[in-house]
Structure 1
Amino acid sequence: MPDFRSDTVTQPTAAMRAAMANAPLGDDVFGDDPSVNALQSYAAELLGFDAALFAPSGTMTNLIALMSHCQRGDEAIVGQNWHTYKWEAGGMAVLGSIQPQPLANQPDGSLLAADVQAAIKPDDPHFARTRLLVIENTTGGQVLGLDYMAQMAALAKSNQLACHIDGARIFNAAVAIASQTQADPYQVARQLVSGYDSISVCLSKGLGAPVGSLLLGSHDFIARARRVRKMLGGGMRQAGGLAAAGLYALQHHVHRLQDDHQHAQQLATGLQQIVVDTGLETQFSLQMPQSNIIFCDLDAALAGHFVAELGKHQVRLTSSTYQQSGQSKSRIRLVTHLDISPAQVQAMLACSRDILCNY
């Protein structure tokens, strides 16, 4: 049965493994690994930046970006639920001595422009200096559109702030937008990031590489970032095998993200129908996905039963608990990816129907 925990669980395809096995190698800390250099050059040109830097993880590339844009005591504006603030172990504060200024996310995942403007500190020694605006796209699987991304970049520039994108799934956002307009997802991705000073792109999520993320920016910015990467222990030696996987992913796995989005839609639609058929609407609700991530909110008792029974069928997913109006609730996350097939979606739905019908 399928593994819905995350799109990080993907396995390299046979063609990707062949690219890894045949990759020429050098020493990336010395800057002479040809496969790493090829990946960095390709990605920078693809998204319209001067240069790129390969690192082991998206958490690291985000932290490198924050520490390259900000000095000790500076402030970065972030979303309350965004990865850079909530899911990266406080790295910006602990390791970068950067003060996060978290703002409430709107239901569509965005930050209000008025909230961002109001959060920018005046030039006063009593306050941390606001230096950076961070945007995340996709955010919890939700897609921030072209107009919004352009608006946030312009807002940052008008206030003399640098702006960084946590674009771990930026190609999911691009594919979702492109599918509505019959556009080229590569071109849409370039439009989404236009006007930003830097972006972190994950290669090991939906794109399917085994390891690695890229940080992109200007030549001067990447020169600073390379120093920070070394400081954080992110310099790798013969990293070309990993880089070759990332290059293959960028060249061959972007358009196919639409398959993951379609599978998520099929899974969510099927689950919603099962909930209606079983009369569990007050205990089980879900958000229709915009990309490849589905969130389901269940009463705690139902969630415990549902997750335990799925586990007996080797279905893997993630869940967490929270309080709402004094009641315990559970949120289940289901993520589709290149190792989730249409047959596995149907098997998941059949299993879910059996469990919920007998609850």
Structure 2
Amino acid sequence: MELSVFVAPRPIDLRSDTITRPDSVMRQAMADAEVGDDVLDHDPTMAVLEERVADLLGFEAALWVPSGSMGNIIALMLHLQRGDRFLAPEHAHVLGSELGTAAWLAGGMPEALPHDGGPGRPLASTVRAAAGGGGPYFALRTTLLSLENTHNFAGGAVFGPDEWAELVAAGRDSGLRIHLDGARLWNTAVALDVPIASLTAGADTVQVCLSKGLGAPVGSMLASDAARIHEARRVRKMLGGGVRQGGVLAAAGLVALDRIGDLVEDHANASTLARGLRERGWEVAEPQTNIVLAAVADPVRTVTELADLGIAAVTVAGKVRFVTHRDVSAADIDEVLERLRRM
């Protein structure tokens, strides 16, 4: 009697573009990096990375931080005081995915704005109405507009320079400072084929991530004017984010920046995945970047069933999310769609 042996399918991980691993080229750059104590002397490779990112984004200065969440909270700590209110689109990362640090550490009361201007963004008129005017001394002071591009939980939705300028103008007209959570701003620039700096003009602070999509193992950047970045370096130290020989990590970031153009492949794979899911009866909108959201009756159960097929996904905002990235090939996407025939 022969016994059948169950062979688990090769895992294909579409949970996030943060699961990528540095390749041999990036690892070699990390090994060869010139380093120094960044807290005491400003690591030389870190300084090069910060200058390059500041130039790309159109700012005077930039600061490396361990994570996008730290970059965001540092920015909010610079902008907000206790008793301040800030505005952000519904389901923004700073509202629901950073453990309440906006209120806890920055002292700001969040106010979610509807996506009435399109997926992931409010109308300029909505910003003006929400900002309101002056009030009695015991009223909250609305002082900041925080935007997100791409908007993660809206399916990697993007908005371009014209809409960005309208929202910035609405904020400025209302006396608000502007922060941009641009963790995946590189994806927006590639999807729209526009300069990255055209998506940041007028902001007070911008956070961008190197470990999403671009393949660095860790690290985000906060960009602003030189005075704010000087203070941001102090706040980073308060939060325990100072590093010593950070050039090892900065070298990975420099290699990552050379790969921004590769994101077009992730976008193409996301489009292929979305089309294949629709052909199999899934309710899926066409992705603008590398995030595919599927509306299903029971997202938690669906993710479990996908795992049984060796496909890793997650639930966000009541939907199943798939994220394509540089460690998943076009052949892997074809394999995912083939496995789904059995589901």
TM norm structure 2: 0.92
Q: Which runs of 5 or more residues in structure 2 are unaligned?
A: 1-10
User: Superposition pairs for residues 146-185 of structure 1, below 5 Å?
Assistant: 146-178=161-193, 185=194
2:141 is matched with: 129
Structure 1: how far apart are the matches of 2:244 and 2:182?
Answer: 25
- Structure 1 residue 254 corresponds to structure 2 residue 266: no
Q: Could you say if the C-alpha distance between residues 129 and 290 of structure 1 is closer, same or farther in structure 2, counting changes exceeding 3 Å?
A: same
The match for 1:228 among 213, 235, 238 is 235
Q: Which runs of 5 or more residues in structure 1 are unaligned?
A: 179-184, 276-283, 323-330
Structure 1: how far apart are the matches of 2:40 and 2:82?
Answer: 28
Whether the 8 Å CA contact 1:64–1:229 is kept in 2: the answer is yes
Secondary structure at the counterpart of residue 287 of structure 2:
coil
Q: Which amino acid aligns with 2:289?
A: S
User: Superposition pairs for residues 182-193 of structure 1, below 5 Å?
Assistant: 185=194, 188-193=195-200
Structure 1: how far apart are the matches of 2:124 and 2:247?
Answer: 41
Whether the 8 Å CA contact 2:20–2:325 is kept in 1: the answer is yes
Structure 1 residue 154 displacement after superposition = 1.5
Structure 1 residue 321 displacement after superposition = 7.8
Deviations 1:217-236 (A, max 9, x none): 00111112111111111111
2:224 is matched with: 217
Structure 2: how far apart are the matches of 1:152 and 1:133?
Answer: 9
Whether the 8 Å CA contact 2:83–2:141 is kept in 1: the answer is yes
Question: CA RMSD for the aligned pairs?
Answer: 1.5
1:274 is matched with: 280
User: Where in structure 1 do 4 or more consecutive aligned residues deviate above 4 Å?
Assistant: none
Secondary structure at the counterpart of residue 101 of structure 1:
strand
Whether the 8 Å CA contact 1:134–1:163 is kept in 2: the answer is yes
1:119 is matched with: 130
Whether the 8 Å CA contact 1:310–1:351 is kept in 2: the answer is no
Secondary structure at the counterpart of residue 156 of structure 1:
helix
Structure 2: how far apart are the matches of 1:303 and 1:93?
Answer: 29
Q: What fraction of aligned residue pairs are identical, expressed as a percent?
A: 43
1:319 is matched with: 315
Q: How many residues align?
A: 328
Q: Which amino acid aligns with 1:223?
A: H
Structure 1 residue 320 displacement after superposition = 5.3
Deviations 1:80-128 (A, max 9, x none): 2100111111101011111112212235221121221111143331222
Structure 2: how far apart are the matches of 1:205 and 1:108?
Answer: 21
Q: Could you say if the C-alpha distance between residues 149 and 321 of structure 1 is closer, same or farther in structure 2, counting changes exceeding 3 Å?
A: closer
User: Superposition pairs for residues 201-212 of structure 1, below 5 Å?
Assistant: 201-212=208-219
Structure 1 residue 313 displacement after superposition = 3.1
2:35 is matched with: 25
Structure 1 residue 354 displacement after superposition = 2.1
Q: Which has the higher helix share?
A: 1
Structure 1: how far apart are the matches of 2:308 and 2:78?
Answer: 47
Deviations 1:167-219 (A, max 9, x none): 000010010001xxxxxx5xx21111111111000110011100010000001
User: Superposition pairs for residues 1-359 of structure 1, below 5 Å?
Assistant: 1-106=11-116, 107-124=118-135, 125-140=137-152, 141-178=156-193, 185=194, 188-250=195-257, 252-275=258-281, 284-300=282-298, 304=301, 306-319=302-315, 322=318, 331-355=319-343
Structure 1: how far apart are the matches of 2:176 and 2:306?
Answer: 47
Structure 2: how far apart are the matches of 1:79 and 1:12?
Answer: 33
Whether the 8 Å CA contact 1:81–1:105 is kept in 2: the answer is no
2:6 is matched with: none
Whether the 8 Å CA contact 1:2–1:340 is kept in 2: the answer is yes
Q: Could you say if the C-alpha distance between residues 316 and 114 of structure 1 is closer, same or farther in structure 2, counting changes exceeding 3 Å?
A: same
Structure 2: how far apart are the matches of 1:309 and 1:108?
Answer: 28
